[in-house]
Amino acid sequence: MALELLAAIERYLDVLRVERGLSVHTLAAYARDLQSFTDVLEDLDPAAVADVTALSARHGLAFAISLSERKLSLRSQARMLSSLRGLGKFLRRESLVPADPMAELSLPKTGRPLPHTLGQAEIEQLLARPDVTTPRGARDAAMIEVLYSTGLRVSELCKLALVDIGPGYLRTVGKGKKTRIVPLGERAEAAIRRYLDESRPVLLAGKQSPALFVTHLGRAMTRQGFHKLLALYGRAVGIADLHPHLLRHSFATHLLDHGADLRAVQTMLGHADVSTTEIYTHVASTSLRRTYRRHHPRA
């Protein structure tokens, strides 16, 4: 019995969700990419939409050409083609097709842009901005301090529970549902204590919540809500387009600037592969070269 492309994609997404533990947002991105491929194929070759065994290399090539014609960025093209290659591997692995139809599909060369980071002075300005004499300000200050002090992803920050905070460390569950322990600096601990003692009870107003960081409605802070708050603080201190991941980049780069071991930074960030972390060494070395040129009399 023929297996339709859409049914095969659903099976592939189920495997990604169960076996690889991908987030809802990542799965949605895969689904959008593969829906784009399906849309192209419906015009090009409906038979391949009706039966995955009819898929071939020419279908992948046609999809690549369509992405180029849409003038998408090379990065977006590479991501969408990577999703398609993953589907091809899945179909072959599950013996749903005689051979991987996307095996020869190549990705455009995108290079690897260095992540932007904040300078130490910008970090200090940002950390000093929230009004810690107010319940919301003390909460915001604690969240920003924790984000910069630990390098958490914003989703990990917002999912923190009271039980995740220990003396000098916190526990978080990252990508792939992997638990890791991250050191917590003295300033971050102090900010959390102040928030817990003076602000959280006011925000909860008698309600109960297992979440560490809560809103004035007594609910857990959301990624979107914190993103908006952080952007407002960024604009207030002259940092345009400030987003949570920028603090994660800054955390990693500043650690390496001060001599931290690459493997230790990898562990704290929750990277499965050290090559993902190595990009920060390039940022750090760039910073060192800039400092040398600026201050050394014989540079």
**Domain chopping of the chain, boundaries:** 5-93, 120-295
pTM, rounded to two decimals: 0.61
For the question of residue 280 being annotated catalytic, the response is: yes
State the amino acid at position 86 in one-letter form: G
Task: Give CATH for domain 5-93.
Answer: 1.10.150
Catalytic position from the list 136, 180, 194, 245: 245
Catalytic position from the list 175, 194, 219, 282: 175
Catalytic position from the list 92, 194, 271, 282: 271
| Cα(248)–Cα(101) distance, integer angstroms | 38
Residue 273 has pLDDT above 80, yes or no: no
Q: What pLDDT score was predicted for residue 119?
A: 87
Q: What pLDDT score was predicted for residue 23?
A: 79
What is the C-alpha R_g of the chain?
Answer: 23
Please tell me the total number of residues recorded for the chain in this structure: 299
For the question of residue 248 being annotated catalytic, the response is: yes
Residue 297 has pLDDT above 60, yes or no: no
**What are 185-242's pLDDT values in tens digits?**
889 999 999 999 999 999 999 999 999 999 999 999 999 999 999 999 999 999 988 9
More confident residue, 134 or 168: 134
What average pLDDT does the segment 254-280 reach? 77
Q: Which two tokens stand for residue 205?
A: 């107003």
Q: What pLDDT score was predicted for residue 233?
A: 96
**Within its chain, how far is the Cα of 246 from the centroid?**
11
Q: What pLDDT score was predicted for residue 213?
A: 97
For the question of residue 245 being annotated catalytic, the response is: yes
Q: What pLDDT score was predicted for residue 111?
A: 61
**Least reliable range by pLDDT among 23-32, 140-149, 204-213, 283-292:** 283-292
Q: What pLDDT score was predicted for residue 296?
A: 47
| Cα(245)–Cα(260) distance, integer angstroms | 20
Contacts of 7 (CB under 8 A, 6+ apart): none
Catalytic position from the list 129, 200, 248, 249: 248
Positions of E strands within 39-142: none
For the question of residue 92 being annotated catalytic, the response is: no
Terminal-to-terminal C-alpha distance of the chain: 71
CATH 3.40.50.12500 is held by the domain 120-295: no
Cβ pair 91, 101 in contact under 8 A: yes
Residue 78 has pLDDT above 80, yes or no: yes
Catalytic position from the list 30, 148, 233, 280: 280
For the question of residue 271 being annotated catalytic, the response is: yes
For the question of residue 282 being annotated catalytic, the response is: no
Beta bridge partners of 172: 180
